[in-house]
Structure 1
Amino acid sequence: MPVSVRASDSMVTETPSVQVRVSRKQLQRQNVTSSADALKYVPNMIVRVRYIGDPNAVISGRNAGTLQSARSLVYADGLLLSNLMTNGYNGAPRWGMVAPEEIGAVDILYGPYSALYPGNSLGTTVLIHTVLPQRLIASVSTQFFSQDYHDSYGANGHYNGRQVAATLGNRQGRWSWLLELSRLNNDGQPLQYATATPGGNAATAIPVTGATLDRNPNGTPRLVYGANSIEHTVQTQAKLKLGVDISDHVAALFTLGWWHDNAEDRTRSLIRDASGQPISRGVINAADQIWTLTPSGLAPTSGIDSHMLYGAELNGHLDNGWRWAAVASRYDFLHSLAATASQAEPGAPVGGSGTIANMSGSDWSSFDLRSSGPLGEQNILYAGVHGDRYELNTQVRNASDWLGDADGPQISAFAGNTQTRAAYLQDVWSFAPAWALTVGGRLEQWRAYGGLLANASSTLRYADRQRTDFSPKTSLSWDFADDWQLRLAHGKAVRYPTVAELFQGTISTNAIVNNNPDLKPEIDESTDLTLNRQLANGHWRVSLFQDRIANALYSQTDITVTPTVTSVQNIDLMRVRGVEGELSLTDVWMPGLDLSASLALNDAKTLQDRQYPLANDKYFPRIPKVRASLLADYRFTPQWEVSLGIRHSGRQYGTLNNNDFVNTYGAVSSFTVADAKLRWRFAAQWTASVGVDNLTNEHYWVYHPYAGRTVFGQLRWDL
């Protein structure tokens, strides 16, 4: 499929940031089931994909862990896919709105060094460029996968899935169009485990077998007796893109996307009584102790989501060399329900009382108007304005049947809005043949309004807030020899609190607790020194970087008050510094052998935390000390190609005080996994492939277990 990167796409990648590109050819060398897999081997990055179809695939980069989703941005053709209504495990970009089949290339920008992007770019900015056909095209692919999962608790098994995708498009005169459809059906491994509470009435305790005496990550004993969140997901996606060349100077692109997810999270008891019957509630006798099983310990859940993406883009160029673009988008949660049973129901759900959380009607929208062009012979000027709005509405109600409607009284609700208006200028001054100075700034006005919190009987409202910030950016690059460049960049970024961080909490005695509507924004001062070397068959890069982030937003316990309060709070100061190396070569040692590799050393520390001083001088959670990747690909005939990938993540912690030392459920592991893929183009229009991820079947955690060894098989037809 021809790649046609539009004018607006190329404009926003011309920045002083470290930039990594993943080509369509590289994607074909990987085992890919979603657009998130495009980042699998990107330097110093991981996407927390726990299972195929995971909607909570959060990006973790240089200065952000897998619970800090608001420190990254993801765009597809300029349309915002990042869920900035919240910041956490459930704030992942909406990867399902982009199918792998439509991706032409992906650019990844590191750090807040461009004035063109909001403060959420302090971590990582991902730009997905999709394609429009230049001729009649069609494709159909079918993919099967099977996971061999094992654990220490007895929930071993094979979890299987399949995916079918099709595209059809054409260019006729000034018009281009592409229709894409896909359907995923997958069973994931258990993501959580049920644990028992010590104690209970010994006289009524039931002797059981199958329970596992275990330890928490901090070493505290616990008993594991069941597996939770064994998700069966069916996801359907449809996408229509329509492009038109309005004139020789102006083009338009319209996008309509739909994503639907029907997910069912079942549970499984791992313990049996003397007659071999599974036990899921009550008091038990196991490991020579008495334990109590909580009623909701093995309670199943389900969710139904239907989301829409609307996008419109105009871009063009003038005869004097100036380019311009206008991009508007809206992401809408048309239907979003999450149901939870009140009682344990291992196996197939049978119904009964429960709760239903409703996020329907939540949405975000954004608008960008930008231009760039020459000012004389030595300057290129970038200018633009930006606006966005996030609206979050959540209501939780009781239900007489959790598999039915929310027919009971309200339990809780919260809602609110945030809005940003911004303007920026950025100038690139080539003041000497080998030198370029980039200076820019972004002026942002942020507002939080309409916040409310309710329980069953009371509704309390928050006062509106507004503030204005200026973020300067600068970089200096020096091409000191042929194919050599040294660049020093510095940028400030202001990452404003999300709606959920500000307004989600509880009500007690007619007062709001466990959240803080006066949270300060994160303020990052970031510096990067990068040495680039272009080679005849590739390139290499070494970067030194540092981020000093004031008022970092993270959920923690304020131990300076009585009683203690656990909520999202501002951490006074954290610092991340490190070194990053990257190498990319083609035809290494022999024709057809390509190699890309990376190594990053990260030192992320909490420098000052007045509310939780136990974190001072400790490693910041979920940012590993080492990240490394390797992807080798060999085309040994025109029809056959084989690839081998290795991903490594070093020691990291899950807690601010670094007291987690046991590699078990709830921990964040170090890991090294190997992946492989074999492709065979056996006819002019046909390609078959087999692959495997986690070749050695390593068992590792990011609180939840990652997937075990997964085997892939795919058959694809292209017109």
Structure 2
Amino acid sequence: MLPSQRLLAAADPASATTTLAPVSVHASDTIVTESPSVQVHVTRKKLQQQNVTTSADALKYAPNMIVRARYIGDPNAVISGRNAGTLQSARSLVYADGLLLSNLMTNGYNGAPRWGMVVPEEIGAVDIMYGPYSALYPGNSLGTTVLIHTVLPQQLVASVSTQFFSQDYHDAYDADGHYNGSQIAATLGNKQGRWSWLLELSRLDNDSQPLQYATATAGGNAATAIPVEGATLDRNPNGTPRLVYGANSIEHTVQTQAKLKLGVDITDHVAALFTLGSWHDEAEDRTRSLIRDAGGQPVSSGVISADNQIWTLPRSGLAPTSSIDTHMLYGAELNGHLDNGWYWTAVASDYDFLQSQAATAKLAEPGAPVGGPGTIADMSGSGWNTFDLRSSGPLDDQNMLYAGVHGDRYILNTQVHNANDWLGDADGTQVSAFAGRTQTRAAYLQDVWSFAPAWALTVGGRLEQWRAYGGLLANTSNTLRYTDRQRTDFSPKTSLSWDFSDDWQLRLAHGKAVRYPTVAELFQGTISANAIVNNNPDLKPEIDESTDLTLNRQLTNGHWRVSLFQDRIANALYSQTDITITPTVTSVQNIAAMRVRGIEGEFGLTDVWTPGLDLSGSLAFNDARTLDDRQYPLANGKYFPRIPKVRASLLADYRFSPQWDMSLGIRHSGRQYGTLNNSDFVDTYGAVSSFTVADAKLRWRYAAQWTASLGVDNLTNEHYWVYHPYAGRTVFGQLRWNL
């Protein structure tokens, strides 16, 4: 079997024939899927049962997980899992055919994986791994590792898909509305002799609901106050009164993606894959005033009178923004096998922020932007590159050895300039800048010893050397540089599995992971009195000691699993306020100790009760606590932010005829907090909600090459928050043709 065909089983061949038929999944990460971690496999068939618009939707029903996608096409769609909230993006890894898509230059809402580099049309299968139990991964695997396997054609293939969606949004501030979008995607590929190629193109055009709201503070000169109507007296999540007078970040995004994959079987033992990807995004965030004066004209600044009080509107409260990004992905892979049963893979990747600019107006401009003074932030030239060389093979009849080396480098450059016209060029003075680099070199070994017919012991270790260098921080007049840093860590891993019958397995795993600070955590701060403040370049890495006990049961028509897990994380990195000093300082800081423990169950069954009915579901209970926070002791003993106490999902799909199938899904996230001291109790803008939403889809294969579908997400139009509002009820319509 050729290396490019080793993962064919992962693609779910029965369902693959309805899209790019026939297909095979490339072997780029065959080795790394063979690990002692808890794994969830999402097939192409299951993706077709869901409403899918971006590759992030592949995780929609994954156990004990959520992707914070606020709207379709959200570039800040961060993964939250067992031990990570939606502000801890660096606790997850996402790969596509061994090419890193995770943005590990930062850790936060803006550190989401670059989902746009993979379109759903090309996904063959997705594997999700929980916890740092494999030595083959860097320390960012302490949370969740996602492996997206894409497809290469085995004959001439072509497809065109057109999708339309419309959101019915409502809120308590009279910013209701319908927000519409569309997506078109096409693929063309072939296999000719030893060569395979696939070209993909897609374009997404969407309008989001308001993502933020403009609020006013009480007070001001009553003599100049303008009486207004339409303002809403509200409370923030901590219960403090505020006035909501406008809607912000109503985003119109146009995203274009193109990718070429070229595979070649060089010999019967060696294959190569080359990837060239491009993602371009033009986004415009408009604002809208919700208040009117006596003449019915919108008001966007100044002093107003509302609800028998005087309020002052900030000058930039309704300031619009825009951004333009062009990212490039370059990848090369060489893999093969030897006659003695050993396999090897070499993968190199480069992700380049070829263009990345974000412009912000300084003054309110509700409605259509008109231009004027502002600032422009430029991240062009930032990015990362990686290299992995790994191999696996038998030492003898009882031992399978995995070995490899790894290297990565992250480069972040950010400059902010004034602009006379924020819709034009950055032609003004420099406001601020920060930059820096991190680099990791690693080597690992892992051995699986089958010392008895029903037993297997996995022992491994990862040695990592990390550097932070080239850090600088600047304002209008000063540029200050940071001292370079270096450290070395060893992370041992072990697991013991017992197949105590043909269909039962019990596995105990323990692993240590070291998650190093990102460039932004280390070097992003401010300058005051010619000194760096609100920043600590000596941050310690997060160190996770993780344990998992899992019981697996295989059934004739599926499986179920129950896992007990615990993570004790020292020096957790989080943005907080140090209240032990005067004046207080808010920055990224180390929390001495936090702990997450819980129980997690999931199942997948086919042909339940009647042929054609498939069920899958999960239920997880999480107890995430801050144990020792020396800078903010009010957090001690409290729930850690943005990790819900309960997560659950259920997806039912019924194929009631050869041409028709329908699905109904339910997703639940329980009580969670947005603050370290758990002081937030009002479910409003800025809060992190509990929620239960339902999704549905109807699919009709009305001809050999044609499929039509109609779906809806958030069927009951639930209104819920993750600081920003999530999308309201969204209706989908899709038409698809494939050769």
State the TM-score bracket (shorter-chain normalisation): over 0.9
Amino acid at match of 1:229: S
Q: Is 1:499 the counterpart of 2:519 in the alignment?
A: yes
Distance 2:511 2:452 in 1: 23
**Match for residue 195 of structure 1?**
215
Does the alignment pair 1:344 with 2:364?
yes
Are residues 1:399 and 2:416 paired? no
Q: Indicate yes or no: 2:660 matched with 1:640.
A: yes
Equivalent of 1:670, from 660, 667, 690? 690
State how far apart, in whole Å, the 2-side matches of 1:477 and 1:428 are: 10
Match of 1:225 among 245, 253, 263: 245
Give a deviation string over 1:83-126, Cα, whole Å, max 9, x none: 00000000000000000000000000000000000000000000
Q: Helix, strand or coil: the match of 2:25?
A: coil
- In structure 2, the partner of 1:300 is 320
Q: Does the 8 A contact of 1:370 with 1:384 survive in 2?
A: yes
Q: Distance in 1 between matches of 2:27 and 2:713?
A: 36
Matches within 5 A, 1:517-528: 517-528=537-548
* Contact 2:26-2:152 within 8 A present in 1 as well: no
Query: Is 2:409 the counterpart of 1:389?
Result: yes
Q: Aligned with 1:302: secondary structure?
A: strand
Aligned equivalents of 1:590, 1:641: Cα separation in 2: 14
Q: How many pairs were matched up? A: 719
Cross-structure match for 2:472? 452
Match of 1:82 in 2: 102
Matches within 5 A, 1:244-263: 244-263=264-283
SS at match of 1:276: coil
Pick one of 622, 630, 643 that aligns with 1:623: 643
- Select which of 475, 479, 483 maps to 2:503: 483
- 1:448 and 1:494 mapped to 2: Cα distance? 15
Amino acid at match of 1:425: L
Superposed CA deviations along residues 309-332 of structure 1, whole A, max 9, x for unmatched, are: 000000000000000000000000
In structure 1, give the amino acid aligned to 2:30. Answer: S
- Secondary structure of the residue that 1:189 maps to in structure 2? strand
Determine the structure 1 residue equivalent to 2:336. 316
Structure-1 separation of matches of 2:433 and 2:364: 25
Pick one of 148, 153, 158 that aligns with 2:178. 158
Letter in 2 for 1:345: E
Shift of 1:482: 1.6
Shift of residue 8, structure 1, vs aligned partner = 3.3
1:465-513 per-residue CA deviation (whole Å, 9 max, x = no partner) reads 0000000000000001121000000000000000000000000001000
Runs of 4+ in 1 over 4 A off after TM superposition: none
Q: How far apart in 1 are the matches of 2:441 and 2:617?
A: 40
- Give identity over the alignment, percent: 88
Aligned to 1:603: 623
CA–CA distance in structure 1, aligned partners of residues 494 and 28 of structure 2: 22
For 1:681, what is the secondary structure of its paired residue? strand
- The residue aligned with 1:119 is 139
Contact in 2 for aligned 1:7/1:316 (Cα 8 Å): no
Which residue does the alignment assign to 2:346? Answer: 326
SS in 2 for 1:131: strand
Q: How does 1:36-51 map to 2 (within 5 A)?
A: 36-51=56-71
Deviations 1:194-236 (A, max 9, x none): 0001100000000000000000000000000000000000000
1:191 is paired with a residue of what secondary structure? strand
The AA in structure 2 aligned to 1:705 is: P
- For structure 1, list consecutive stretches of 5 or more residues without a partner in the other structure: none
Could you tell me which residue of structure 1 aligns to residue 112 of structure 2? 92
Query: CA-atom RMSD, angstroms?
Result: 0.4
Partners of 1:8 and 1:237 in 2: how far apart? 22
In 2, distance between residues paired with 1:481 and 1:360? 56
Q: 1:686 aligns with which of 682, 706, 714?
A: 706
Pair 1:464-2:512 in alignment: no
1:368 Cα deviation from its structure 2 partner? 0.1
CA contact (8 A) 1:446 1:468 kept: yes
The within-5 A match list for 1:451-600 is: 451-600=471-620
Q: Which one-letter code corresponds to 2:168 in the other structure?
A: D
CA deviation map 1:241-285 (0-9, x unaligned):
000000000000000000000000000000000010000000000
Q: Is the 8 A contact 2:101 2:115 kept in 1?
A: yes
Contact 1:7 1:323 in 2 (8 A): no
**Distance in 2 between the 1:95 and 1:26 partners?**
19
TM-score, length of structure 2 as denominator length: 0.97
**Once the two structures are superposed, what CA deviation does each residue of 1:349-398 show, in whole Å capped at 9, x if it has no partner?**
00000000000000100000000000010000000000000000000000
Query: Do the aligned residues in 1 keep the contact of 2:335 with 2:343 (CA within 8 Å)?
Result: yes
Q: How does 1:339-378 map to 2 (within 5 A)?
A: 339-378=359-398
Contact 1:146 1:158 in 2 (8 A): yes
Equivalence for 1:101: 121
Amino acid in the other structure paired with 2:552: N
Deviations 1:427-485 (A, max 9, x none): 00000000000000000000000000000000000000000000000000000112100
Contact kept, 8 Å, 2:526 with 2:533, in 1: the verdict is yes
Secondary structure of the 1:96 match is helix
Query: Match for residue 132 of structure 1?
Result: 152
Instruction: Give, in whole Å, the separation in 1 of the partners of 2:24 and 2:443.
Output: 28
Report the Cα distance in structure 2 between the residues aligned to 1:363 and 1:707, rounded to whole angstroms: 30
Q: Kindly state the Cα deviation for residue 295 of structure 1 after the two structures are TM-superposed.
A: 0.4
Q: Would you say the 8 A contact 1:78–1:327 is kept in 2?
A: yes
Cα shift readout 1:150-192 (whole Å, capped 9, x = no counterpart): 0000100000000000000000000000000000000000000
**Partner Cα separation in structure 2 for residue 156 and residue 83 of structure 1:** 34
Counterpart CA distance in 2 for 1:274 and 1:38 is 50
The Cα shift of 1:7 comes to 3.0
Distance 1:76 1:506 in 2: 36
Q: Contact 1:329 / 1:365 at 8 angstroms: preserved in 2?
A: yes
> After the TM superposition, which residues 279-294 of structure 1 pair with which residues of structure 2 at under 5 Å, given as runs?
279-294=299-314
- What is the CA distance between 1:683 and its match in structure 2? 0.5
How far 1:3 sits from its partner (Å)?
3.9
CA distance in 2, matches of 1:287, 1:544: 52
1:213 to 226, 233, 236: 233
Kindly indicate whether the alpha-carbon contact (under 8 Å) linking 2:443 and 2:464 is maintained by their aligned counterparts in 1.
yes
Cα offset, 1:5, TM superposition: 2.7
Give the C-alpha shift of residue 10 in structure 1: 1.8
1:34: Cα distance to partner? 0.2
Q: 2:27·2:97 contact (CA, 8 Å) conserved in 1?
A: no
- After TM superposition, give the deviation of residue 9 of structure 1 in Å: 2.2
**Inter-partner Cα distance in structure 2 for 1:629 and 1:341:** 42
Unaligned runs of 5+ in 2: 1-19
Structure 2: how far apart are the matches of 1:72 and 1:41? 17
How far apart in 2 are the matches of 1:103 and 1:7?
14
Structure 2: which amino acid aligns with 1:117? Y
